[in-house]
C-alpha cells in the first residue's frame, strides 16, 4: 500500500500571461506536492518566456512545491531544440521529458529525470532501460490500463516512481498542423493565437451533435474528462506514487481538494459539475478511453 | 536513394521486387506490427519464400516489429525478433525501446532500423537510439517540413528514410491514440488504427453513414464515395461548420520533391501501403523506380512527369494527392 502524492500536470492549454500567473498563485495554496511547469504543446505559445517559467518555478519552489519542468512534446524546429537544451541544462529543477530527444539530452547531462505520458513506456524492459539511464519517475501512457499497471509495478526497477494521469481532458494526439487555426480557416503561421479563446480546447462534435474531441492547437484532447477519483484505493493498492491532475481553466482547486480528501479516505464530493462536459474512465478499466465504467 | 516498398503478402512482395524495389518491408501475422489486418502479412513459410525470391533478384527484405508490447504480450515480441533473426532478414524495423534492447543484445549482428512508430522527429532522439541500440537507419514521422528534414539529416548519426507516397498520417505516428479512445485498440497496442471490426456503414435518410464504434465519423451525399472511417479523416462540427476538421482524405505524393530529397541526403524513400493490393504495389513501385532513376541521372532537369502522377492518382486514397507537411514555405 502506498500513500500517493498529488501532482498538477503541465497546463496543456493556452492562457494569457495574467491568467497563468493568477492560476499558479492559487496553485501555491493547493494541497498538491508536485507541480509540472512549462509549455508542452506549441512553441508559438509565448505568453510566458522561458525566463518566466523559471521565475514561476522559483516562486512555487519557495512555496514548498516540488517543481518539475516539462518539455515540448513534438519537436520539429531547431529553435525548439534550443529551448529544450536550456530546460534540460538547468541545474535546479528536475525535468519531465515528453519526447525521446529530451530523454537523450538529460542522459547526457547525467541528471535524474521524469518522463511524461507521451514517452512510450509500455513494458518493464523499456522501464528498465530508462531506469538504468536515470529515470526517476514515469507517467504511464494514457491508453494503458490498471491491469498493465499491475504487471509493470511488480517488475518496477528500484527507485522509480509511477505516476498516473488521474484527472483531466486526455492528450490523445499531436500533429504538425494546427486544428484550432484550421477551424478558423487560418494557416498555422498566421494562427492569431486563437487558442487563447478556448481555455479548455475547442469542442469538436460529430454530425449527430455528440461532443467528441477538443482541439487544442496542434494537440487533440478528449472532450470527456478522465476522472479516476473513485480509484484512489485501487491506486494505493497498486503502489502508485503520484496521481496527476491536469489543469483546467475553472475549478482546478476544487478537484485537487476532492482528490486530497479521497487519498485520506474521506468521502470526496462528486466532480461532475466541475468538468466542461462529462467524465470517462475507460482506459483505466481496459476499455475504449471514452467509456465510463464507474 | 533506396526505394523501399510495402508487401502485405507474397504476391505483393513479388510485385515490388519485379517492378524495381531496392528493398521490401513485411510483417508477421500478429500484433507485433502496425499493419495487423485480417488476412494480411506473412507466416514463416511465406516469409522464407519471399526472402528467397527477393534475394535472387538482389532485393533486400526488412521486417517490421514496430508496435509496443505490453507486459502480457512480451514473449510474442521476443519470439518475433527471434523469428526475424532466424529468417535472415536484412533489417528489423522496431519502435519499442524494450524490443530494441532485446534485439540488439540477443542478435548483435542484426541490422536495426527505427520505425516511424518510434515517433522520433529530431536528431537528439535519433542519437538515443543509435547510442543505445546501434540503429543503422531511422524512418521519420510525416510531420516535418523539407527544411526540418534537412536539419535532421545533417545532424543525424544514422541514415534517414522518409515517406514518399501513400496514405497520410496527419498525426505524429506512435503517439496517436484516437483509435483506442474510440475502440480500445490503437496502432501502438494492437497494430491497427481504426480496426475493421469496429467499422460500420449504414444507409440512412440523411445519407450513407460511417461509424467507428459508436462514433459517427461521416455522412455521405448521393454522389460521394464513402471513405474508411479513420477518425482524423472524418467530417465533424466545430463552431458552426461541418467539415474535415482534421484532415482531408488525401494521399501523400512527394514525386516532385525528389531532387530536393536527394540533395538533402535522404538515404531511402518509403512507400506506404502493406494493406494495399499487389496491383497497387506494382504500379507505385514502377512509377517511383522510373522517377528515382530519372532523378539520379539528371536531378537538375528532373520534373515529375504527368503520366507518373496520373498513374499514382489512380491508386491514391481520396484520389487527390498532397505534398503533406514537406511543403511549408514559411519555415
Question: Are residues B257 and B239 part of one domain?
Answer: no
B81-131: pLDDT as tens digits: 999 999 999 999 999 999 999 999 999 999 999 999 999 999 999 999 999
pLDDT score for B318? 62
Q: What share of chain A is helix, strand, coil (3-state, %, to 5)?
A: 35, 20, 45
pLDDT score for B6? 98
Q: How would residue A193 be classed by pLDDT, with cut points 50, 70 and 90?
A: very high
Listed in sequence order, the residues at least 6 apart from A249 whose beta carbon sits closer than 8 Å to its beta carbon are A13, A15, A19, A199, A200
In angstroms, the CA A264 to CA B303 distance is 69
Residue from the list A101, A147, A175 with its beta carbon closest to the beta carbon of B170:
A175
B178-226: pLDDT as tens digits: 999 999 999 999 999 999 999 999 999 999 999 999 999 999 998 888 8
Q: What are phi and psi of B94, to 5 degrees?
A: -125, 160
Is the pLDDT higher at B168 or at B237? B237
Average model confidence (pLDDT) across chain B:
94
Q: Pick from B222, B243, B264: which residue ends a domain?
A: B243
> Are the Cβ atoms of B118 and A103 closer than 8 angstroms?
no
Rounded to 10 degrees, what is the CA torsion of B27, B32, B35, B38? 90
Distance from CA of B146 to the nearest CA of A (A): 11
Average model confidence (pLDDT) across chain A:
97
Question: Are residues B263 and B231 part of one domain?
Answer: no
pLDDT score for B317? 66
Closest residue of chain B to A208, computed from CA coordinates: B216
Question: Are residues B140 and B57 part of one domain?
Answer: yes
Distance from CA of A67 to the nearest CA of B (A): 25
Question: Are residues B275 and B162 part of one domain?
Answer: yes
pLDDT score for B142? 86
**Total structural domains in chain B?**
2
Q: Which CATH architecture has domain A5-169+224-274?
A: Alpha-Beta Barrel (3.20)
Question: Are residues B89 and B10 part of one domain?
Answer: yes
> Are the Cβ atoms of A129 and B186 closer than 8 angstroms?
no
Question: Are residues B141 and B105 part of one domain?
Answer: yes
Q: Pick from B243, B260, B283: which residue ends a domain?
A: B243
Q: Please say if the pLDDT value at position B330 is more than 50.
A: no
Q: Any idea which residue has 526488412 for its cell?
A: B62
Listed in sequence order, the residues at least 6 apart from A184 whose beta carbon sits closer than 8 Å to its beta carbon are A192, A194
In angstroms, the CA A292 to CA B318 distance is 35
Q: State the distance between the two ends of chain A, measured CA to CA, in whole angstroms.
A: 22
Distances (CA, A) of B223 to B201, B208, B220, B226: 16, 11, 8, 9
Q: Please say if the pLDDT value at position B314 is more than 90.
A: no
Q: In this structure, is residue B39 part of a structural domain?
A: yes
Q: In this structure, is residue B193 part of a structural domain?
A: yes
Q: In this structure, is residue B232 part of a structural domain?
A: yes
A-B contacts (CB, under 8 Å): 207
Distances (CA, A) of A184 to A273, B181, B225, B241: 29, 25, 27, 10
Q: How would residue B321 be classed by pLDDT, with cut points 50, 70 and 90?
A: low
Question: Are residues B101 and B221 part of one domain?
Answer: no
One DSSP character per residue, A140-204 reads: PPTT--HHHHHHHHHTPPTT-EEEEEEEEEEEEEEBSS-HHHHHTT--GGG-TTGGGG-TT-EEE
> Are the Cβ atoms of A155 and B70 closer than 8 angstroms?
no
CATH number for B308: 3.20.20.70
Of A109-123, B157-171, B315-329, least confident by mean pLDDT is B315-329
Q: How would residue A9 be classed by pLDDT, with cut points 50, 70 and 90?
A: very high
Selected for mutation to probe chain A from B121, B181, B197 (highest A CB count within 10 Å) is B181
- Three-state DSSP state, A13: coil
Q: How would residue A93 be classed by pLDDT, with cut points 50, 70 and 90?
A: very high
Q: In this structure, is residue B265 part of a structural domain?
A: yes
pLDDT score for B319? 53
Q: What angle do CA B41, B44, B46 make, to 5 degrees?
A: 60
Question: Are residues B217 and B99 part of one domain?
Answer: no
Q: In this structure, is residue B331 part of a structural domain?
A: no
Judged by a CB distance cut-off of 8 A, whether residue B229 touches chain A is: no
Q: What's the mean pLDDT in B277-303?
A: 96
What domain range includes position B25?
Answer: 2-168+250-326
In angstroms, the CA B311 to CA B330 distance is 31
pLDDT score for A1? 80
Listed in sequence order, the residues at least 6 apart from A173 whose beta carbon sits closer than 8 Å to its beta carbon are A219, A220, B171, B172, B175, B176, B177, B178, B232
**Which triple of cell numbers denotes residue A91?**
541545474
pLDDT score for B327? 66
**Which triple of cell numbers denotes residue A178?**
494546427
The helix or strand, by DSSP H or E, that contains position A215, with its residue range, turns out to be: strand A211-216
Residue in A258, A292, A269, A274 with CA at minimum distance from that of residue A6: A258
Q: In this structure, is residue B173 part of a structural domain?
A: no
**DSSP 8-class letter at A48:** S
Question: Are residues B190 and B164 part of one domain?
Answer: no
- Three-state DSSP state, A59: helix
**DSSP 8-class letter at A230:** G
Note which residues in 168-227 of chain B have CB less than 8 A from chain A.
Answer: 170-172, 174-178, 180-184, 186, 188-189, 213, 215-219
Number of H helices, E strands in chain A: 9, 12
Q: Any idea which residue has 535472387 for its cell?
A: B56
Q: Please say if the pLDDT value at position B328 is more than 60.
A: no
pLDDT score for B329? 45
Closest residue of chain B to A154, computed from CA coordinates: B71
Contacts of B102 in chain A (CB under 8 A): 125
Q: In this structure, is residue B64 part of a structural domain?
A: yes
**Which triple of cell numbers denotes residue B2?**
533506396
Q: Pick from B195, B210, B243: which residue ends a domain?
A: B243
Distances (CA, A) of A7 to A112, A162, A206: 18, 12, 33
Question: Are residues B15 and B97 part of one domain?
Answer: yes
Closest residue of chain B to A201, computed from CA coordinates: B238
Distance from CA of A232 to the nearest CA of B (A): 22
Contacts of A125 in chain B (CB under 8 A): 74, 97-99, 101-102
**Which triple of cell numbers denotes residue A188?**
498555422
Asked casually if ipTM beats, i.e. exceeds, 0.85, the reply is: yes
Question: Are residues B164 and B71 part of one domain?
Answer: yes
Q: In this structure, is residue B22 part of a structural domain?
A: yes
Question: Are residues B110 and B41 part of one domain?
Answer: yes
> Are the Cβ atoms of B98 and A126 closer than 8 angstroms?
yes
Judged by a CB distance cut-off of 8 A, whether residue B331 touches chain A is: yes
Amino acid at each position: 500500500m502506498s500513500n500517493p502524492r498529488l501532482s498538477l500536470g503541465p497546463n496543456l492549454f493556452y492562457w494569457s500571461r495574467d491568467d497563468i500567473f493568477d492560476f499558479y498563485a492559487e496553485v501555491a495554496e493547493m494541497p498538491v506536492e508536485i507541480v509540472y511547469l512549462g509549455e508542452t504543446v506549441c512553441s508559438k505559445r509565448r505568453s510566458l518566456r522561458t525566463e518566466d517559467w523559471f521565475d514561476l518555478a522559483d516562486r512555487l519552489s519557495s512555496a514548498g512545491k516540488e517543481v518539475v519542468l516539462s518539455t515540448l512534446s513534438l519537436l520539429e524546429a531547431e529553435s525548439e531544440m534550443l529551448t529544450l537544451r536550456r530546460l534540460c541544462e538547468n541545474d535546479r529543477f528536475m525535468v519531465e521529458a515528453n519526447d525521446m530527444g529530451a530523454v537523450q539530452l538529460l542522459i547526457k547531462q547525467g541528471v535524474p529525470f521524469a518522463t511524461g505520458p507521451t514517452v512510450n513506456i509500455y513494458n518493464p524492459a523499456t522501464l528498465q532501460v530508462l531506469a538504468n539511464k536515470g529515470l526517476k519517475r514515469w507517467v504511464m501512457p494514457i491508453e494503458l490500463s490498471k491491469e498493465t499497471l499491475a504487471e509493470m509495478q511488480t517488475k518496477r526497477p528500484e527507485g522509480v516512481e509511477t505516476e498516473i494521469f488521474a484527472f483531466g481532458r486526455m492528450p490523445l494526439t499531436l500533429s504538425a498542423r494546427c486544428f484550432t487555426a484550421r477551424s478558423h480557416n487560418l494557416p498555422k503561421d498566421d494562427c492569431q493565437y486563437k487558442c487563447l479563446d478556448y481555455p479548455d480546447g475547442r469542442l469538436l462534435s460529430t454530425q449527430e451533435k455528440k461532443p467528441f474531441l477538443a482541439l487544442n492547437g496542434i494537440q487533440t484532447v478528449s472532450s470527456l474528462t478522465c476522472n479516476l477519483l473513485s480509484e484512489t484505493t485501487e491506486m494505493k493498492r497498486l503502489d502508485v506514487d503520484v496521481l496527476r491532475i491536469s489543469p483546467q481553466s475553472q475549478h482546478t482547486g476544487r478537484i485537487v481538494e476532492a482528490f486530497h480528501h479521497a487519498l485520506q479516505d474521506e468521502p470526496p464530493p462528486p466532480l461532475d459539475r466541475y468538468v466542461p462536459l462529462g467524465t470517462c474512465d475507460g482506459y483505466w478499466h481496459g476499455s475504449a478511453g471514452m467509456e465510463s465504467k464507474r | 536513394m533506396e526505394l523501399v516498398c510495402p508487401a502485405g503478402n507474397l504476391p505483393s512482395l513479388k510485385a515490388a521486387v519485379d517492378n524495381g524495389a531496392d528493398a521490401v518491408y513485411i510483417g508477421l501475422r500478429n500484433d507485433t506490427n502496425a499493419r495487423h489486418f485480417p488476412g494480411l502479412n506473412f507466416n514463416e513459410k511465406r516469409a522464407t519464400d519471399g526472402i528467397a525470391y527477393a534475394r535472387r533478384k538482389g532485393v533486400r527484405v526488412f521486417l517490421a516489429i514496430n508496435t509496443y508490447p505490453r507486459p502480457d504480450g512480451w514473449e510474442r515480441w521476443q519470439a518475433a525478433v527471434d523469428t526475424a533473426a532466424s529468417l535472415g532478414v536484412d533489417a528489423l524495423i522496431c519502435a519499442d525501446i524494450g524490443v530494441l534492447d532485446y534485439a540488439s543484445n540477443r542478435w548483435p549482428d542484426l541490422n536495426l532500423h527505427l520505425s516511424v512508430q518510434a515517433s522520433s522527429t529530431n536528431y537528439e532522439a535519433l542519437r538515443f537510439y543509435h547510442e543505445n541500440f546501434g540503429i543503422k537507419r531511422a524512418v521519420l514521422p510525416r510531420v516535418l517540413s523539407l527544411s526540418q528534414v534537412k536539419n535532421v539529416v545533417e545532424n543525424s548519426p544514422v541514415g534517414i528514410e522518409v515517406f514518399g507516397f501513400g496514405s497520410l498520417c496527419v498525426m505524429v505516428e506512435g503517439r496517436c491514440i484516437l483509435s483506442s479512445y474510440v475502440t480500445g485498440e490503437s496502432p501502438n497496442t494492437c497494430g491497427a488504427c481504426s480496426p475493421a471490426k469496429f467499422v460500420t456503414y449504414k444507409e440512412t435518410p440523411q445519407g450513407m453513414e460511417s461509424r467507428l464504434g459508436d462514433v459517427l465519423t461521416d455522412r455521405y451525399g448521393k454522389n460521394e464515395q464513402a471513405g474508411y472511417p479513420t477518425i482524423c479523416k472524418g467530417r465533424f462540427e466545430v463552431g458552426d461548420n461541418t467539415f474535415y476538421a482534421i484532415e482531408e482524405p488525401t494521399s501523400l505524393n512527394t514525386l516532385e520533391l525528389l531532387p530536393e530529397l536527394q540533395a538533402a541526403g535522404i538515404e531511402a524513400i518509403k512507400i506506404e501501403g502493406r494493406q494495399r493490393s499487389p496491383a497497387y504495389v506494382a504500379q507505385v513501385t514502377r512509377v517511383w523506380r522510373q522517377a528515382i532513376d530519372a532523378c539520379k541521372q539528371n536531378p537538375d532537369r528532373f520534373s515529375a512527369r504527368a503520366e507518373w502522377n496520373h498513374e499514382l492518382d489512380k491508386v491514391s486514397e481520396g484520389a487527390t494527392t498532397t505534398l503533406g507537411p514537406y511543403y511549408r514555405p514559411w519555415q
